[in-house]
Amino acid sequence: MIPPCTRCGSELALGDLRCPICALVTPPVSVKGMPQGDTARVFRCQGCGAAVTYDIQAQAPVCGFCRAVVALETQADPLEEAEYFPAFGVDLAMARAALEAWWRVPRFFCPGALSSSAMVEDLRPLRWVAWVFDVEATVSWAADSNAGSRRSDWAPHSGQFEEQYQDVVVSASRGLTQSETRQLTPYYASDHVFAPNPDLAMESTALGKPVVVERFNVQRSAARKLTSLSLQALAEQSAARRVPGTRMRNLRVEVVPRRLVTRRVAFPVYVAAYRYNGKLFRAIVHGRKEGFVIGRTPIAWSKVVLLVLIALALLAALIVSVSGAD
Amino acid sequence: MVHYECRNCGAGLTVESNQIAVVCTFCRDPSIIERPPRSDRPLPSFSLGFVIQEGRAQAAANRRIARAWLAPQAFRRARAETVTGVYVPTYLYSAHCESDFKVEIGEQYQESETYTTTENGRSVQRTRTVTSTEWYPLRGRYSAYVERVVSASSGIPNPELEAIEPFDLRALHRFRAETLAGFAAEEASLPTATCWANAREEASAEVGERISKFLPGDSQRSLEQRVDFRNEDLTLALLPVWVLAVRYHPERRVVRMLINGQTGALYVRTPISKYKVLTLAMVVIGLCFLALWKSGVFE
């Protein structure tokens, strides 16, 4: 367990030379074994005994003869990997039933024959990946608003507040859109998400299909940038609620995060591909909330045309009645 | 000066007392001088490796010399020589800042104004829209984390280091003496108290700039700030810099060029030829006269 940063309390990962939030240096290496007096030393290769010099191409000290490289402790920037795998609460049969029920929901622009004619092409369990972070933040803000303005439309205001953000989800999924992940996240309860991981092999067997787990495809440094952008956006929303008046402009926010803890989660969903009238559509079935489905549905163009014709007829009638009154 | 014996060939080496890496003149063996750390001579925590090769640094320097139009011809014909890769001691400063500010914010508004003018020999009244500024006092608090790099070397002062910043500190590695082998390196030669003061001064200036950008309104004036730095940290790191010398006249001082060993950013105080400046000024004045004469001002 790596102790958190002593300045801002944020968690540190293995290989952090400085705190990614406040730049405080992590504990330095021990200086034991240093010489007591001044000594001049030639660093020798452990293999062949030749002198070692720093090599610009290798970015490390390298032996000039046998090219052996001395390993250096650098800032680690590994690819992110999921650590929490909340269990599926919806099995394959329940997911199929939810999809069929979703087809039957009456929608005005949807073809009436959807529930009877749509065919499931594929329905597979998938885990989409995201960062979930908790953080405390001091937010300083400044903005112009109409409150207190005199001859000008605007008057300046500023303030500072403390805020806690918990279980903020930042999607790292490439397969699911931002809109889809935003709709799915409220239905993952944090006690399920951070419960001990299920046996993933047994889960695949129980579901009858292998569970595809998305990869983050993002390095730690890029992930930290994304979460800090997300925190900035949240702070702007919180600050906007505190600006007095009914109109504002030039909202500026400075965030000082503390005790930032980030967890990498692979959330369960089912991705369904269904065919209607020869065309393929996609729907997402929630992996924990029973009966929750989002996705695209086909459009009944005959209904759209009919609605446009009715609107045109009403408009024409309105024009005739207005001109008749003149 | 301190005397050492090369551990490879036994030759006597004389080095500056603040040097920590040296290459033997006789056998080219790179030696690192290790001394126990003291409060006024801390061990570096980090170093940053060179990325720019020596040949590339020299070529960049020569391109800059050739482009120095206002420099003496002798300088433009000279070439950068004695290229030395130096690990410059610097302090990485970071802190949590709490700042109280007081400022006047200008908000613009437009209003109609009546004025009298003469048209066709008659005095007439007209209206026009003018933009005015209304000033509002604003007090507030600004909190942020700040991070600065300051030179700890008396050889490369802070303004010169700033000229070749930034360094990408994500590539830092934990200090190991082997990384200095083959390059020159020196210990922190400026007193730590001076570096603390320089770092706080730079951080204060940065906070001022950030507050200025943070403020709303159309304009601002009379910004006053009181900055309190908390949980400060000053850590010694060695940063890579190519130092090149340009000797263009036997009686003039050697011109020093600095190149960021990681990004290639270059700093040089180019000498200026007073004859060239005088000629340029005369040409500009002549062209101005010519333009005025053509426009008929002197008729």
Cα(B134)–Cα(B105) distance, integer angstroms: 8
| Share of chain B residues as helix, strand and coil, in percent rounded to the nearest 5 | 25, 45, 30
- Chain A positions in Cβ-Cβ contact with residue B234 (cut-off 8 Å): none
Under 8 Å between Cβ of B99 and B228: yes
Q: Which of A62-66, A295-299, A321-325 has the lowest mean pLDDT?
A: A62-66
Cα(A80)–Cα(B4) distance, integer angstroms: 49
Nearest CA in chain A to B2: A38
* Contact (CB<8Å) A53/B181: yes
Q: Does A252 touch chain B (CB under 8 A)?
A: yes
Q: Does ipTM top 0.85? A: no
Under 8 Å between Cβ of B266 and B162: no
C-alpha triplet B206, B210, B215: angle, nearest 5°: 150
* Contact (CB<8Å) A43/B30: yes
Under 8 Å between Cβ of B246 and B95: no
Q: Does A8 touch chain B (CB under 8 A)?
A: yes
Under 8 Å between Cβ of B141 and B100: yes
Q: Does A14 touch chain B (CB under 8 A)?
A: no
Helix (H) or strand (E) holding B290: helix B274-294
Residue A291 tokens, joined? 């009966």
Secondary structure class of B42 (helix, strand, coil): coil
Q: Does A215 touch chain B (CB under 8 A)?
A: no
Sign of CA dihedral B123, B124, B129, B135: positive
- Shortest distance between the Cα of A264 and any Cα of chain B, in A, equals 22
B96: nearest CB among A31, A155, A256: A256
Q: Does A221 touch chain B (CB under 8 A)?
A: yes
- Chain B positions in Cβ-Cβ contact with residue A30 (cut-off 8 Å): none
Which residue reads 């109609």 in tokens? B112
Cα(A220)–Cα(A20) distance, integer angstroms: 10
Residue B131 tokens, joined? 């933009």
- Chain A positions in Cβ-Cβ contact with residue B142 (cut-off 8 Å): 140, 160, 254
- Chain A positions in Cβ-Cβ contact with residue B175 (cut-off 8 Å): 29
- Shortest distance between the Cα of B25 and any Cα of chain A, in A, equals 14
Per-residue model confidence as pLDDT tens digits over B234-288? 999 999 999 988 888 888 888 889 999 999 999 999 998 888 999 999 999 999 9
Residue B299 tokens, joined? 């008729």
Which of B8, B46, B102 should be substituted to probe chain A, the one whose Cβ sees the most A Cβ atoms within 10 Å? Answer: B46
Secondary structure class of A64 (helix, strand, coil): coil
- Which of the 8 DSSP states describes residue B182? T
**Beta-ladder partners of A79:** A219
Q: Which of A45-54, A139-148, A169-178, A233-242 has the lowest mean pLDDT?
A: A45-54
3-class SS string, A195-249:
CCCCCHHHHHHHHCCCCEECCCCCEHHHHHHHHHHHHHHHHHHHHHHHCCCCCEE
- Shortest distance between the Cα of B12 and any Cα of chain A, in A, equals 11
- Chain A positions in Cβ-Cβ contact with residue B141 (cut-off 8 Å): 140, 158, 160
Task: End-to-end CA distance of chain B: give it in Å, rounded.
Answer: 73
DSSP string, B219-256: EEEEEEEEEEEEEEEEEEEEEEEEEEEE---TTSPPEE
Cα(A255)–Cα(A234) distance, integer angstroms: 10
Per-residue model confidence as pLDDT tens digits over B38-81? 666 778 889 998 999 989 999 999 999 988 889 888 888 888 88
Single out the residue of B250, B253, B251, B257 nearest to residue B83, CA to CA. Answer: B257
Q: Does A144 touch chain B (CB under 8 A)?
A: yes
- Which of the 8 DSSP states describes residue B189? -
- Chain A positions in Cβ-Cβ contact with residue B46 (cut-off 8 Å): 17, 25
Per-residue model confidence as pLDDT tens digits over A265-295? 999 999 999 999 899 999 999 999 999 999 9
- Shortest distance between the Cα of A3 and any Cα of chain B, in A, equals 17
Under 8 Å between Cβ of A10 and A19: yes
* Contact (CB<8Å) A41/B213: no
Per-residue model confidence as pLDDT tens digits over B108-150? 999 998 999 888 888 999 999 999 999 999 999 999 999 999 9
Which residue reads 């603390």 in tokens? B196
- Shortest distance between the Cα of B210 and any Cα of chain A, in A, equals 10
* Contact (CB<8Å) B45/A28: yes
Under 8 Å between Cβ of B229 and B145: no
pLDDT of residue B11: 65
Per-residue model confidence as pLDDT tens digits over A116-173? 888 999 999 999 999 999 999 999 999 999 999 999 999 999 999 999 999 999 998 8
A158: nearest CB among B31, B53, B138: B138
Single out the residue of B24, B32, B6 nearest to residue B181, CA to CA. Answer: B32
* Contact (CB<8Å) A73/B173: yes
Which of B135, B145, B213, B230 should be substituted to probe chain A, the one whose Cβ sees the most A Cβ atoms within 10 Å? Answer: B145
